[in-house]
Amino acid sequence: MKTKILQSISLFVIALFVLSSCNSKKSEKVADIEPKTETFPLEKAKLTSELRLPAELSSFDQVDLFAKVSSYVKILKVDIGSDVKEGQLLIELEAPEISSQLSAAESRLHSQEAIYTASNSTYQRILETSKVEGTISKNDIELALSRKNSDFAQLAAARAKYKEVQVMQSYLQIRAPFKGKVTARNVNIGAYVGPGASTPLLTLQDQKKLRLSVLVPEAYTGYLKFGDPINFGINSLRGELFTAKISRLSGALDLKLRSERIELDVINTNGKLLPGMVAEVVMDLKSDKSPFVVKKSSVISTSEGMFVLKVIDKKTLRVNVILGLEADGKVEIFGDSLKEGDKLVLNANEEIKDGTAIN
């Protein structure tokens, strides 16, 4: 009985050994089969991407109006929200001392005109008399000429002074430099105003035409040009889409943000848009040329830069590239050592080094 049990155990152990040997051979065969690395030929294509950026609306023209001379507000003809025309009188100021100065300057001017007229007439008579030989000495002629020239200089100074006071008096009338809307009023009738004030009397804005300003990151500046149409929406006007064209490009990058400022002119005919509104700009970016386009999985991103794996003679070679637009899982790449038809690894990773054999 014991002999039969021992034989059964021996057979069971032998069977297990045979099965394990077969499984190990199968696993060795499976291990010997290496997975195939998938590659693809490099091709050119045009990629279109959408870029959304925040932007801000501002009035096309805006000015803060201050008092040029020390004076009092006599008449205030406008208020907040008033629509004004170019040259329209907005505020009339009063400064009695300027009126006195103008009267004094005018009196001096008339006095100098009379003095010059007299000295000029004297010189002309002496000059005419001197034509008869021996009647007038040369010295008398020179003295009369000198007196006339001095009086003429005094007359020119009086005229300049009178004009200066006239200009100062014109500052008492503050007029609109352009057509627009009064958006701020910080003064009342009777208030004392003058130069050096930090708060403007009025703020005037042109709201019929607005500026839309947006900062475009350096990576996308090459895809925009003058006249490109751009759509934008306003946060407070949901559901409405507006369109404008690029009117100005700064042509330089902001040193802090590394972005280029672009401006769009927006015609605000219905008055819905207001200066200060925040907008979201939607830019359709497309390349003028056809660059190389690959899937994102083909690009390796490391601390040293961006690479793709190029297959040469069934071995890999890392090629440094610069990325462009990205859309739908694809990306533009730029590299000096790449050409159309090159074989690249589809699913690249950092574990694949230069010289790795590819099946």
Q: What is the pLDDT of residue 21?
A: 52
Q: How far apart are CA 163 and CA 169, in angstroms?
A: 10
Residue 1 inside a domain? The answer is no
Q: What is the CATH number of the domain that holds 161?
A: 1.10.287
Q: What separation in angstroms does the CA of 143 have from each of 10, 60, 149, 164, 284? A: 153, 62, 10, 32, 83
Q: What is the CATH number of the domain that holds 316?
A: 2.40.420.20
Q: How far apart are CA 351 and CA 306, in angstroms?
A: 15
Which tens digits make up the pLDDT trace of 117-148? 999 999 888 888 887 777 788 888 889 889 99
Domain shared by 317 and 332, yes or no: yes
Residue 16 inside a domain? The answer is no
Domain containing residue 271: 53-60+206-286
Q: What is the pLDDT of residue 27?
A: 45
Residue 245 inside a domain? The answer is yes
Domain shared by 260 and 296, yes or no: no
The helix/strand/coil state of 28 is helix
Rg (CA), the chain: 44
pLDDT at 218 over 60: yes
Residue 336 inside a domain? The answer is yes
Which tens digits make up the pLDDT trace of 276-289? 999 999 988 877 77
Residue 334 inside a domain? The answer is yes
Query: Which of 26-35, 154-163, 186-195 shows the lowest mean pLDDT across its residues?
Result: 26-35
Q: How far apart are CA 50 and CA 325, in angstroms?
A: 9
Q: What is the pLDDT of residue 32?
A: 44
Q: How far apart are CA 214 and CA 281, in angstroms?
A: 8
Domain shared by 153 and 223, yes or no: no
The predicted model gives 253-280 an average pLDDT of: 91
Residue 340 inside a domain? The answer is yes
Domain shared by 277 and 314, yes or no: no
Domain shared by 252 and 298, yes or no: no
Residue 263 inside a domain? The answer is yes
Tally of domains within the chain: 3
Domain shared by 163 and 210, yes or no: no
Among candidate residues 145, 170, 195, the one where a domain is terminated = 170
Residue 354 inside a domain? The answer is no
